[in-house]
Amino acid sequence: MEDTNKIYGRKNIFFCVISLLLLVILLFPVYWIIVTSLKTEQEIFQIPPTLFPKKLNLLSYASQLKSGDFNMFRSFGNSMFISLSCMIIAVILSVPASYGLARYRFKGMELCVLGFLITQMLPVSVILTPMFIMFRNMDLINKPLSAILADATIGIPFSVLILKNYFASIPKDIEEASYIDGCNRFTAFLRILVPIAYPGIIVCAIFSFLYAWGDLAYGMTFIQDQIRRPITSGIFNFMGQYGTKWSYLTAFAVVTIIPVVLIFLFMQKYLISGLTSGAVKG
């Protein structure tokens, strides 16, 4: 059975070449960002452009390690705190909520699920102003909690919709068997169902973290002090009225994508298995 799925000969070579070309096309922007961050400003605008830096320029990285508005480590820490907090809130709230939607039937359940779907379709620009007014009245403007709560409004609905399918696909007999062994509904949920839905929970945690990490609108709007802003907002520091410091901007971008690359390198098996397993039954 395994041999029937393998490709041999010229067809195999053809697909390998196509795959390599697609890989080069998709990764070239990332490569260009890294190379640009290592060039001087003069070489960046050189025509024709150079594929490799003639003179290695590390000043764009070194200058951002100093104290001031452009401190890379501080912005990195702000983003990490906001993203991890958003991830924790999304997981804690979405896991029991998705279990309730999967196991119980109540009036208005369809409207509840529809509400989660609608929140995924609303653009950020629509809800930005109402949320700003709410946070201003709650005295949360210019505090990390405002960005955390705003990012969680995206992570929670997505997590609920994904995990609902997970809990619905788990046979009720497994849960009922745990009652015979002495578990109540709560302990059966924690000890039996949550470990079974572990791949889906990992996917939801990763999505919530990545969304909060890449968020720009909420961080720019609700956090006004540069010292407290996340790393995505710090990129705009290098876009001035009279020009853009491209070497500094791309160096900042390289640091920004490091957590994303690491997550996809080490967590890809959870992402693939989590997304495919959750789509088996709705």
pLDDT, tens digit, 9 for 90 and up, residues 77-91? 888 999 999 999 999
How many independent structural domains does the chain possess?
1
Q: Output the pLDDT for position 4.
A: 53
Long-range CB contact pairs, 129-132, < 8 A, 24+: 131/218, 131/222, 132/221, 132/222
| 203: in domain | yes
Amino acid identity for residue 200 in this structure: G
Q: Write down the residue that tokens 């080069």 correspond to.
A: 24
Amino acid identity for residue 77 in this structure: G
Tell me the per-residue pLDDT of 94-110, one tens digit each, with 9 for 90 and over.
999 888 888 888 787 78
Q: Output the pLDDT for position 1.
A: 43
| 48: in domain | no
Q: Output the pLDDT for position 270.
A: 67
Domain containing 80: what range? 66-277
Q: Output the pLDDT for position 168.
A: 82
| 116: in domain | yes
pLDDT beneath 50, residues of the chain:
1-2, 241-242, 279-282
| 5: in domain | no
| 20: in domain | no
Q: Output the pLDDT for position 280.
A: 46
| 152: in domain | yes
Please report, for the domain that includes residue 82, its CATH number.
1.10.3720.10
| 145: in domain | yes
Q: Output the pLDDT for position 67.
A: 54
| 245: in domain | yes
